[in-house]
Amino acid sequence: MSNEQKITNNIKVPNKDLEALRLNFPHCFDKDGNFQLEKFKANLTEKEINFSTENYGIDWLGKSYARLLASDPATTLLKADETHNSKPENANSENLLIKGDNLEVLKHLANAYYEQVKMIYIDPPYNTGSDGFVYNDDRKFTAKELQNLIGVDAEKAKRILDFTQSESNSHSAWLTFLYPRLYIAKQLLKDDGVIFVSIDDNEVAQLRLLMDEIFGEENFVAEFPRITKKAGKTTDLIAKNTDYLICYRNTDSVILEKNSFEDLKYDGVDEHNEERGNFKLSQTLDYGSIQYSKSLDYEIKLDGVIYRPGNATKEQMEARQAANPKSDFCWRWSRDLFEFGLKAGFVVVKNDRIYTKTYKNAVIKKDKKNGYYVEIQERKKATSSLEFIDNKYSNDNAKKDISKYFDENVFEYSKPISLIHKIAEISTNAEDIILDFFAGSGTTGDAIIQLNADDCENRKFVLVQLPEPINSKKNKAAYDFVKEELNAEPTIFEITKERLKRASKRIKVDIEVKIKANEKAIKALDGKLDLDDKEEKIKQLKSEIASLKKQDLGFKIFETTPIWEDYDFEAEQFDSSQTLFDVGKLTEEDIKALLVTWKTNDNISLSQELEIVDLGGYTAFYGSGKLYLLHKNFTTENLKAVLEKIDTDKAFNPTSIIAFGYHFESKNLRELSENVKQYANKKKIDIDFITRY
């Protein structure tokens, strides 16, 4: 099959809602593919669906414009930083740092990373009035164009243009800024994906309503309050030292991993060890802070010794029962539970006190029919809604994190590594992708490579950061650091990049220390007697060493760059009888940017390198079943080389051959198309020939 595509200036976000309608209500689309709303409503009305105009939600000036921004095509291309990406530590990395406006970047990622991201964390502008947020929009529409595009009246179109072009920081401007970014982000989340958003009091109410609309109110998970700093002296009525971490899931298939009890010291071994794992001694069975109950105040006889709560004598115990105080010493377990626990090995006597055992992989449970029983499972605890009211998650620690790499004043508003480490730990596993499109100083990337080193997994991060200029007066330390020490243009992006480089070096040292410790432990075990778990421990240590040696500590860099001047006009009106677009001005770098942009739109991840293929002297690019022909001077001999390679190379089986139309003459394109079609029919295979602009 042959067809023509105008992709370069028409990269859009997939609309899964529209595709669902097309699948289930095909009769509600006209021959041109336009959705007919009235026909759809009539169809549902027949099924007694009530179209009420009253509902609960959020509306603001610019909402229709925000929806337009979410669906509007990207105005940029993507290009690789080849110098950085070719370095040994980065060449095979699957981590990404992308420079550019995050709305543009999200549109580019929308196909290759569609439903691929497990966790998103963002720390957007809080709109405090002093954080520098203003709405900036380089899209130029007239009031008349806006009326037609989003279906509003002239007065509303003018008001929208006023705030989009006047650097507003109103609630409406903030919502218009955030809506399209969150809308596209949702398309990137896996079904079991989650998103965390940091926010403070200024916009938390608006954010909750906005996320209810985009993710669904039923998918709200939690609003975690977080200590931002220790409360010091203040002239305010209340010290403002908290913000919030808002969490939503994509669908109800999300399961947040609860906190494992791994941090507890399970060093006890008994006859149940193989089935239940090691155990630790919990608190004594009795204590005095419990609400007193007569049923929990009983004698226990073990090996001829009588035990009473609080080591009381019989007389003291009887006196207590007679007085029946509201609070006094008693057992934590009922008599029935104690007797079961004793028989099942959950009880131990130590120093004349009775203790209970907490096994790593076993708990006591009870059902109405059969009573108590032991269930084998990994012991976990739920994440508390107050989990982040702890100074270890405060911005005070973020300053300490930054100071490991450079002066803490270089970046003043970063989040602590512990915060991102924690949320990634409970929501992601091996090989998962984590996205942060307000990367700032790069805390998320730092936290992910640290978490991977801790649990020997291989999560990948995708960070996006605008090359926002650093104000030399407001942040002289950062400005001087980037300009003088890094010898680069003073932007926030350069700080992000440098932090990731320094974090990788630091964690590499930590990993080497860990590997040496494991090798030493293996050597020590080899010298011991053949204990039951010796070989298992050695196997585990070797596996950990292998995982640590494979840790991905690099990252690739890409950036957005404007589509070439006049390309949009020419591509829309291209006539094969004339050459309107000046292809002669395209450089090799331009062609490479086109290739990166196209392959990403074709669902090939940015981290996947295309294979360079020599076709009889003509250089082409191949990956994921797609063969790209972007250079000039493709001849019949080169086509023969393509077909011969398909015949002889089992690893080379393109299902699409994509040619850059401006670099081929019309007759060559027709010849190519016909030859590919004949070959595919003869071999009974499917190969599409696509001319793309």
SS (H, E, C) 428-464: CCCCCEEEECCCCCCHHHHHHHHHHHHHCCCCEEEEE
Residue among 403, 383, 514 at smallest CA distance from 450: 514
User: How far is CA 394 from each of CA 225, 247, 389, 589, rounded to the nearest angstrom?
Assistant: 11, 18, 8, 44
Task: Using DSSP, state whether 120 is helix, strand or coil.
Answer: strand
Q: Supply the pLDDT for residue 648.
A: 92
Beta bridge partners of 381: 259
What span, in angstroms and rounded, lies between the C-alpha atoms of 538 and 603? Answer: 42
**In sequence order, which residues have a C-beta less than 8 Å from that of residue 511 and are 6 or more positions away?**
453, 548, 551, 553
| Axis-axis angle for helices 443-455, 395-403 (nearest 10) | 80
What span, in angstroms and rounded, lies between the C-alpha atoms of 292 and 321? Answer: 10
Task: Using DSSP, state whether 367 is helix, strand or coil.
Answer: strand
SS (H, E, C) 184-208: HHHHHEEEEEEEEEEECCCCHHHHH
What span, in angstroms and rounded, lies between the C-alpha atoms of 381 and 384? Answer: 9
Residue whose pair of structure tokens reads 């403070």 in the numeric block: 200
Read off φ and ψ for residue 432, nearest 5 degrees.
Answer: -70, 155
Residue among 464, 438, 437, 462 at smallest CA distance from 448: 462
Q: Supply the pLDDT for residue 607.
A: 96
What span, in angstroms and rounded, lies between the C-alpha atoms of 260 and 142? Answer: 57
Q: Supply the pLDDT for residue 129.
A: 78
Residue 563: enclosing H or E segment and its boundaries? none
What span, in angstroms and rounded, lies between the C-alpha atoms of 459 and 364? Answer: 35
Given CA atoms 105, 111, 117, 120 in this order, what sign does their dihedral have? positive
SS (H, E, C) 540-558: HHHHHHHHHHCCCCCCEEE
Say if residues 246 and 207 touch (Cβ distance below 8 Å). yes
User: What are the residue ranges in the chain where pLDDT is below 50?
Assistant: 263, 576
Say if residues 460 and 95 touch (Cβ distance below 8 Å). yes
* CA torsion angle 258 264 265 270 (round to 10): -50
**DSSP state at residue 329:** -
Residue among 20, 177, 175, 35 at smallest CA distance from 106: 177
What span, in angstroms and rounded, lies between the C-alpha atoms of 110 and 185? Answer: 8
Q: Supply the pLDDT for residue 259.
A: 57
Beta bridge partners of 243: 226
Q: Supply the pLDDT for residue 667.
A: 87
What span, in angstroms and rounded, lies between the C-alpha atoms of 163 and 573? Answer: 33
What span, in angstroms and rounded, lies between the C-alpha atoms of 190 and 314? Answer: 63
Beta bridge partners of 465: 99
Euclidean distance between the first and the last CA atom of the chain, given in angstroms as a whole number: 17
Residue among 188, 212, 221 at smallest CA distance from 120: 188
**3-state helix, strand and coil shares in percent for the chain, rounded to the nearest 5:** 40, 20, 40
Residue 595: enclosing H or E segment and its boundaries? helix 588-601
Query: For the segment 461-473, what is each residue's pLDDT rounded down to a tens digit?
Result: 999 999 999 999 8
Return the CATH superfamily for domain 56-133+180-256+383-511+551-562.
Vaccinia Virus protein VP39 (3.40.50.150)
The ranges assigned to domains in the chain are 56-133+180-256+383-511+551-562, 135-168, 261-381, 574-692
What span, in angstroms and rounded, lies between the C-alpha atoms of 284 and 347? Answer: 10
Q: Supply the pLDDT for residue 237.
A: 65
Say if residues 133 and 126 touch (Cβ distance below 8 Å). yes
What span, in angstroms and rounded, lies between the C-alpha atoms of 436 and 102? Answer: 10
What single string gives the DSSP state of each residue in 603-659? T--TTSPPEEEEETTEEEEEETTEEEE-SS---HHHHHHHHHHHHH-TT---SEEEE
Residue among 338, 518, 499, 473 at smallest CA distance from 408: 499
What span, in angstroms and rounded, lies between the C-alpha atoms of 632 and 21? Answer: 42
What span, in angstroms and rounded, lies between the C-alpha atoms of 422 and 436? Answer: 15
Q: Write down how long the chain is.
A: 693
Cα angle for residues 230, 234, 237 (degrees, 5° grid): 110
Residue 64: enclosing H or E segment and its boundaries? helix 63-71
What span, in angstroms and rounded, lies between the C-alpha atoms of 354 and 487? Answer: 67
Written as six digits, the tokens of 29 are 């689309």
Q: Supply the pLDDT for residue 274.
A: 86
Query: For the segment 200-250, what is each residue's pLDDT rounded down to a tens digit?
Result: 988 999 999 999 999 999 999 999 999 887 665 555 666 677 899 999 999
